[in-house]
């Protein structure tokens, strides 16, 4: 094109400087959309507020929180939530790592199995709980039947306080182990081969190779997976609510389930909000650790690319 | 390091079988159950071999359930429709809003971009009820309670951060020189976005959209808190099924199968995208 | 066709001033080479001219018209990138056609012009290939074709030969001048290779830390570099540097090198006492058969042939290292003791503290020594 003397000088519909802001406006709106209810919740947590007694609503500042200290219900909630989180994440890490090691080599069988293992992860946790509920039905449940085959006749799964935790943890393991497996498998497959080849040449036994080379190099992935799952586990709602609604009694009243029941059953907005704030504080601390660690991993991956 | 003994190979095989069995069994079992009549289900010991029936599925589709006692109305198809509407709507909206925003974040490091990104990211991990419970009260006040629009809007809480998180990384991976070259050749920034950035980030956008759809479909708590019976998606609907009177286990099984079928099918069809989105989304961002 | 002028062009990234009040002007059909080490701001400068990056201050004028506010797509320039920047999802043909498509040229004319340019750059046979199927050389030619096809009045070339292998680089360095000169295009060419700069540029602007440190013809820069750093960058092998202290005797100034007195004709007596660095290019140092008056005794340590020269590393009796360059296939000592002389008037005197040139080559024809 020969030099065009009639060069346009338009700046376009949107000036260059304003463009980025316009594009991210919706994200900003969603941000605000989250922050408003959040601060409302903070506000509620400092109130004595029951929907069923709107006239009695008043600020009681930190009283909700102080009451928790002497409330056995709160400690029970804390204890169950932590047990659930530790059990699920710990066991899922173990199994996930094991399966990832099993599937480490790239071959047809392993790839096929990896794909199959995606399926539990893609199942809605609430529906997975439902599936297990059917399978553990005392009357016709297949799992109950299997137990009778080995002599355990009266295992009540989710209906009994002693086995309810076990049951929901089982469902969680079924749904979420594949997630850890995928992460760790990606990590395993991205490890450089030279250290292993060198170790093999030196005659280092495989088990030692695992503990001395594999595990340390996998640490960032393990950490990422752990923190990610920890964050989700301590807030678990779907599986527990779908399985037992927090029961039997109050054996499974983890944070979010308890908050839900407080809000909808007891209409105790204040307590519910305070409970959620404590949960949020816990997740905030963990997620900050996670984000820092994840950013570091990302920088490393970028640097090697 | 290829010196595994026969014993090792056998152990591996056994381990693999155990793993596959554990993870596949519940799905297979529920599928089997959906083809069984109530009598077959209640029979002890449970049978793997039986006469299959389509009655359960028929009941889902026709909306009528004939029992010996009475005839019940089932509105499960409506739940399915709600799921489709909500998930597709939510993902579409979040792609529409999120992809340009991801582009802006990737290309223009402007003041506040890191803050917005960080806020969205940190709230990804915050307890949903913290936002949902006050929101349910607000929604009642502003009339958005129990509306599709209100729900799709709230679903953005799940979908938008995911899209932003994953797609931004893909845009950042495109060398700016390529976009410069296109612009210098005479194309506007919008044309550059459409013809260069979007196609090159395509796989990332697909992965993000797919994941967002699955998360939206599988969501339980949002709909539980904010939707009433006629707008509930399958996750809540299937559970309501169980507590309704006159439960027929075969139908519940059929309902569950129909509820998980779409996500499972998507997962199998697009598993490459999914794995990339999941693992790289977590690692690469 | 175009007269390009940059006035006080400035660009900052956070606290860093990457381009610092740059003033440059290029006349029509001229080639200006932007030369400098990496990080000097050359690429950013090109991007500012192209319009894909906005300056913090200053203006870009084309044909005396202020283009600073004009969007890149309306400036009508052509640019080729160091990393080729080909559109990976389009064929070579489509890559080249891109500017023509933006101008909405009709199908037949478009096909013809793409074909013409492809023929010129000898890539006709790969037009239908995707970029990943092209070799680096072919990618570079495609990138050049894309820049040229629109017959832009101004062409911006960002070190296009950098990522191309040595042999191809040499070939293209021969082809480029004819390609560019023939079209009467104004060219801004960025490079870190001084030989390329001298071969291609009508004039050269040396950029260091975002500032234009020297601007002149290739000979100017080679013979009268504004400071020591430019003298170092512009020359291969690198210029010999000796710390010296000029001594004045009346009107005559001289420096001592290994006990030999070297007169600096025309130097100011006020230089006496200033700590200086004497720069002598290896090609101005030559071996002499015996102890000629005024020759410097050295000990030859190593010798290596490079391209069309033979480089000798020697050490003076005072322990200073010295590089000597002579054309290939000529004779010279490869070890042991030897003597060297320095061509009269070939010394460059720099102030040690600031590196600026105090006294340089005057009235000497040295074109035969230029690489």
Beta-bridged to residue A270, according to DSSP, are: none
Q: Which two tokens stand for residue A201?
A: 């040449």
Q: What is the pLDDT of residue B174?
A: 92
Mean pLDDT (whole number) for A234-259:
88
**pLDDT category, A305, cuts 50, 70, 90?**
very low
Instruction: Tell whether the model's pLDDT for residue A24 goes beyond 80.
Output: no
Per DSSP bridges, beta strands C186-191 and C31-35 are parallel
With CA atoms as reference, the chain C residue closest to B188 would be C73
With CA atoms as reference, the chain A residue closest to C54 would be A16
CATH 1.10.3720.10 applies to domain B76-283: yes
Q: Which residues of A292-301 are buried (b: 16+ CB within 10 A; e: fewer)?
A: eebeebbeee
Instruction: Tell whether the model's pLDDT for residue A124 goes beyond 50.
Output: yes
Cβ contact C81:C143 at 8 Å: yes
Residue C214 dihedral angles phi and psi, to the nearest 5°: -155, 145
The minimum CA-CA distance between A211 and chain B, rounded to whole Å, is 16
Q: C291 Cβ partners below 8 Å, 6+ apart?
A: C297, C339
Mean pLDDT (whole number) for B250-276:
85
| CB-CB under 8 Å, A26 with B101 | yes
Single out the residue of B154, A227, A229, A20 nearest to residue C54, CA to CA. Answer: A20
Q: What is the pLDDT of residue B243?
A: 60
Residue C74: which of A2, A3, A8 has the nearest Cβ?
Answer: A8
The residue whose two tokens read 């990976």 is C88
How many residues can be counted in chain B?
285
CA distances from C73 to B179, C50, C83, C154, C158 (A): 11, 9, 21, 14, 18
pLDDT digits (tens, 9 = 90+) for C64-109: 888 888 888 899 899 999 899 999 999 999 999 999 999 998 999 9
Residue with more model confidence, B126 or A175? A175
Contacts of A299 in chain B (CB under 8 A): none
The minimum CA-CA distance between B71 and chain A, rounded to whole Å, is 23
Contacts of B203 in chain C (CB under 8 A): none
Q: What is the pLDDT of residue A178?
A: 93
| CB-CB under 8 Å, B219 with A12 | no
What is the enclosing helix (H) or strand (E) of C140?
helix C136-149
With CA atoms as reference, the chain A residue closest to C2 would be A3
The minimum CA-CA distance between C52 and chain B, rounded to whole Å, is 6
Instruction: Tell whether the model's pLDDT for residue A8 goes beyond 50.
Output: no
With CA atoms as reference, the chain B residue closest to C83 would be B177
User: Which residues in chain C come in under a pLDDT of 70?
Assistant: 1-2, 361-371
Instruction: Tell whether the model's pLDDT for residue B8 goes beyond 80.
Output: yes
**pLDDT category, B70, cuts 50, 70, 90?**
low
| CB-CB under 8 Å, C65 with A1 | no
Residue C52: which of B175, B180, B196 has the nearest Cβ?
Answer: B180
CA distances from B30 to A123, B41, B264 (A): 13, 11, 14
Q: What is the pLDDT of residue B245?
A: 53
| CB-CB under 8 Å, B180 with C81 | yes
Residue B252: which of A134, A142, A231 has the nearest Cβ?
Answer: A134
CA distances from B213 to A122, B226, C354 (A): 11, 19, 64
Stretch 195-214 of chain A: residues touching chain B, C-beta under 8 Å: 196, 200, 206
Mean of the per-residue pLDDT values for chain A?
83
| CB-CB under 8 Å, C99 with A1 | yes
Q: What is the pLDDT of residue C363?
A: 41
Residue B23: which of A120, A224, A238 has the nearest Cβ?
Answer: A120
Cβ contact A179:B211 at 8 Å: no
Contacts of C153 in chain A (CB under 8 A): 2-3
With CA atoms as reference, the chain C residue closest to A3 would be C153
Give the global pTM.
0.83
> Quick one: DSSP state of residue C227?
B
Q: What is the pLDDT of residue C2?
A: 53
Q: What are the residue boundaries of the structural domains of chain B, listed by start?
A: 6-73, 76-283
**pLDDT category, B4, cuts 50, 70, 90?**
low
**CATH T-level assignment (fold) for domain A71-304:** MetI-like fold (1.10.3720)
Residue B238: which of A24, A127, A283 has the nearest Cβ?
Answer: A127
Instruction: Tell whether the model's pLDDT for residue A262 goes beyond 90.
Output: no
Q: What is the dihedral of CA A26, A31, A33, A34, to 10 degrees?
A: 150
Domains of chain C and CATH, by start:
4-224 (3.40.50.300), 230-369 (2.40.50.140)
Separation of alpha carbons C95 and B185, rounded Å: 10
**pLDDT category, A54, cuts 50, 70, 90?**
confident
Contacts of B13 in chain A (CB under 8 A): none
Three-state SS annotation for chain A: CCCCCCCCCCCCCCCCCCHHHHHHHHHHHHHHHHHHHHHHHHHHHCEECECCCHHHCEECCCHHHHHHHCCHHHHHHHHHHHHHHHHHHHHHHHHHHHHHHHCCCCCHHHHHHHHHHHHHHHCCHHHHHHHHHHHCCCCCCHHHHHHHHCCCCCCCHHHCHHHHHHHHHHHHHHHHHHHHHHHHHHHHHHCCCHHHHHHHHCCCCHHHHHHHHHHHHHHHHHHHHHHHHHHHHHCCCHHHHHHHCCCCCCCCCCHHHHHHHHHHCCCEHHHHHHHHHHHHHHHHHHHHHHHHHHHHHHHHHHHHC
Cβ contact A234:A89 at 8 Å: no
Single out the residue of C218, C162, C217 nearest to residue C191, CA to CA. Answer: C162
Per mean pLDDT, which of A93-102, A266-275, C352-361 is the most reliable? A93-102
pLDDT digits (tens, 9 = 90+) for C244-265: 888 888 777 777 777 777 777 7
Instruction: Tell whether the model's pLDDT for residue A87 goes beyond 90.
Output: yes
Q: What is the pLDDT of residue B213?
A: 93
Cβ contact B136:B145 at 8 Å: yes
Q: What is the pLDDT of residue A126?
A: 93
| % of chain B residues with pLDDT over 70 | 87
Q: What are the residue boundaries of the structural domains of chain A, listed by start?
A: 71-304
Contacts of B173 in chain C (CB under 8 A): none
Separation of alpha carbons C183 and A100, rounded Å: 62
Instruction: Tell whether the model's pLDDT for residue B195 goes beyond 50.
Output: yes
Residue C297 dihedral angles phi and psi, to the nearest 5°: -80, 135
Instruction: Tell whether the model's pLDDT for residue B278 goes beyond 50.
Output: yes
Single out the residue of B158, B183, B163 nearest to residue B104, CA to CA. Answer: B163
Q: Which two tokens stand for residue C137?
A: 């050389």
The minimum CA-CA distance between A70 and chain B, rounded to whole Å, is 23
Q: Which two tokens stand for residue A189?
A: 């497959």
| CB-CB under 8 Å, A2 with C151 | yes
The CA-based angle C304-C308-C310, given to 5 degrees, is 25
The CA-based angle A38-A39-A45, given to 5 degrees, is 95
Which of C83, C92, C99, C142 is the mutation pick for testing B, counting most B CBs within 10 A? Answer: C99
CA distances from C324 to C161, C219, C284, C367 (A): 29, 21, 8, 18
Contacts of B177 in chain C (CB under 8 A): 81, 83, 85
Residue with more model confidence, B20 or C177? B20
pLDDT digits (tens, 9 = 90+) for B87-107: 999 999 999 989 998 898 888
Question: What is the ipTM metric for this complex?
Answer: 0.86
**pLDDT category, B250, cuts 50, 70, 90?**
confident
Q: What is the pLDDT of residue B24?
A: 94
Q: Which two tokens stand for residue C216?
A: 């002149």
Which of B20, B26, B39, B278 is the mutation pick for testing A, counting most A CBs within 10 A? Answer: B26
3-state secondary structure of C327: strand
Cβ contact C331:C246 at 8 Å: no
Whether the CB of C78 is below 8 Å from some CB of chain A: the reply is: no
Residue with more model confidence, A264 or A17? A264
Q: B182 Cβ partners below 8 Å, 6+ apart?
A: B191, B192, B195, B196, C87, C98
Contacts of A196 in chain B (CB under 8 A): 1
Which of B114, B178, B183, B184 is the mutation pick for testing C, counting most C CBs within 10 A? Answer: B184
Residue with more model confidence, C288 or B85? B85
Instruction: Tell whether the model's pLDDT for residue A6 goes beyond 60.
Output: no
| CB-CB under 8 Å, A9 with C153 | no
The residue whose two tokens read 């005072």 is C318
């Amino acid at each position: 094109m020969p030099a065009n003397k009639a060069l346009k000088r338009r700046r376009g519909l949107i000036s260059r400087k304003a463009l980025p802001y316009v594009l991210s406006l919706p994200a900003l709106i969603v941000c605000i959309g989250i922050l408003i209810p959040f601060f409302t919740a903070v506000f509620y947590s400092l109130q004595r507020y029951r929907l069923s007694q709107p006239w009695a609503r008043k600020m009681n500042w930190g009283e909700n929180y102080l009451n928790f200290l002497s409330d056995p219900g709160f400690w029970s909630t804390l204890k169950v939530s932590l047990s659930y989180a530790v059990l699920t994440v710990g066991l899922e890490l173990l199994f996930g790592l094991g399966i990832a090691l099993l599937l480490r080599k790239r071959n047809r069988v392993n790839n096929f199995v990896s794909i199959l293992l995606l399926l539990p992860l893609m199942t809605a946790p609430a529906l997975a709980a439902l599936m297990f509920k059917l399978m553990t039905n005392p009357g016709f449940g297949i799992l109950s039947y299997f137990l009778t085959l080995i002599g355990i006749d009266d295992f009540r799964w989710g209906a009994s306080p002693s086995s309810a935790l076990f049951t929901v943890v089982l469902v969680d393991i079924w749904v979420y182990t594949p997630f850890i497996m995928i992460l760790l498998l990606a990590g395993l497959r991205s490890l450089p081969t030279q250290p292993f080849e060198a170790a093999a040449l030196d005659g280092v036994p495989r088990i030692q190779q695992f503990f001395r080379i594999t595990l340390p190099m996998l640490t960032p992935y393990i950490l990422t997976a752990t923190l990610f799952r920890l964050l989700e586990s301590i807030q678990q709602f779907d599986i527990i609510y779908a399985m037992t609604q927090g029961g039997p009694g109050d054996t499974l009243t983890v944070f979010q389930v308890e908050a839900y029941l407080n809000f909808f059953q007891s209409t105790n907005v204040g307590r519910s909000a305070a409970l959620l704030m404590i949960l949020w504080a816990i997740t905030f601390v963990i997620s900050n650790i996670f984000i820092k660690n994840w950013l570091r991993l990302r920088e490393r991956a970028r640097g090697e690319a | 390091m290829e010196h595994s003994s026969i014993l090792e190979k056998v152990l591996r095989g056994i381990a693999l079988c155990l793993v596959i069995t554990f993870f596949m069994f519940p799905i297979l079992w529920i599928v089997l159950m959906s083809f069984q009549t109530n009598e077959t289900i209640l029979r002890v010991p449970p049978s793997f071999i039986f006469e299959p029936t389509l009655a359960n599925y028929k009941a889902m589709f026709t909306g009528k359930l004939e029992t010996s006692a009475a005839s019940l109305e089932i509105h499960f198809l409506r739940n399915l429709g709600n799921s489709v509407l909500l998930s597709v709507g939510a993902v579409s909206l979040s792609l529409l809003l999120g992809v340009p925003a991801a582009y802006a974040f990737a290309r223009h490091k402007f003041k506040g971009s890191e803050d917005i990104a960080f806020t969205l990211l940190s709230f990804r991990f915050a307890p949903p009820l913290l936002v949902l419970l006050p929101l349910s009260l607000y929604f009642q006040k502003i009339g958005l309670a129990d509306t599709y629009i209100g729900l799709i809007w709230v679903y953005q809480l799940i979908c938008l951060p995911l899209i932003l998180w994953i797609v931004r990384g893909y845009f950042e991976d495109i060398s700016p020189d390529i976009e410069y070259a296109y612009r210098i050749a005479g194309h506007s920034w919008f044309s550059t976005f459409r013809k260069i950035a979007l196609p090159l980030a395509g796989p990332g956008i697909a992965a993000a959209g797919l994941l967002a759809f699955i998360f939206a479909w599988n969501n339980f708590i949002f709909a539980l808190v904010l939707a009433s019976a006629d707008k509930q998606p399958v996750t809540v609907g299937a559970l309501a099924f169980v507590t309704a009177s006159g439960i027929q286990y075969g139908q519940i099984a059929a309902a569950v199968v129909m509820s998980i079928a779409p996500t499972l099918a998507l997962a199998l069809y697009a598993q490459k995208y999914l794995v990339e989105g999941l693992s790289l989304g977590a690692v690469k961002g | 066709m175009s007269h390009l002028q940059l006035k006080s062009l400035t660009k900052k990234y956070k606290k860093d001033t990457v381009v610092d009040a740059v003033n440059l002007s290029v006349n029509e059909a001229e080639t200006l080479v932007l030369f400098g080490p990496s990080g000097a701001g050359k690429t950013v400068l090109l991007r500012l001219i192209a319009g894909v990056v906005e300056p913090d201050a200053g203006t870009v004028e084309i044909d005396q018209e202020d283009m600073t506010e004009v969007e890149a797509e309306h400036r009508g320039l052509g640019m080729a990138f160091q990393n080729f920047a080909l559109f990976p999802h389009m064929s070579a043909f489509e890559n080249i056609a891109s500017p023509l498509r933006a101008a909405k040229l009709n199908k037949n004319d478009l096909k013809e012009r793409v074909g013409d340019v492809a023929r010129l750059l000898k890539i006709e046979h790969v037009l239908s290939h995707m970029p990943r199927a092209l070799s680096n050389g072919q990618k570079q030619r495609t990138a050049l074709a894309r820049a040229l096809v629109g017959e832009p009045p101004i062409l911006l070339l960002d070190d296009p030969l950098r990522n191309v292998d040595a042999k191809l680089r040499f070939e293209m360095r021969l082809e480029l001048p004819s390609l560019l000169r023939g079209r009467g295009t104004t060219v801004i060419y960025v490079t870190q290779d001084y030989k390329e700069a001298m071969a291609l540029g009508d004039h050269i602007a040396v950029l260091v830390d975002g500032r234009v440190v020297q601007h002149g013809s290739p000979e100017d820069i080679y013979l009268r570099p504004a400071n020591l750093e430019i003298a170092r960058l512009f020359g291969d092998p690198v210029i010999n540097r000796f710390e010296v202290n000029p001594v004045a005797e009346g009107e005559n100034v001289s420096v001592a090198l290994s006990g030999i007195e070297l007169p600096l004709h025309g130097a100011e007596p006020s230089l006496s006492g200033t700590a200086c660095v004497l720069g002598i290019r290896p090609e101005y140092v030559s071996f002499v058969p015996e102890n000629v008056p005024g020759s410097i005794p050295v000990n030859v340590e190593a010798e290596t042939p490079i391209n069309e020269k033979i480089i000798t590393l020697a050490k003076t009796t005072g322990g200073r290292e010295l590089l000597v360059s002579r054309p290939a296939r000529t004779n010279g000592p490869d070890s042991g003791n030897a003597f060297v002389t320095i061509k009269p008037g070939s010394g460059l005197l720099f102030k040690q503290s600031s590196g600026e040139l105090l006294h340089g080559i005057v009235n000497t024809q040295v074109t035969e020594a230029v690489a």
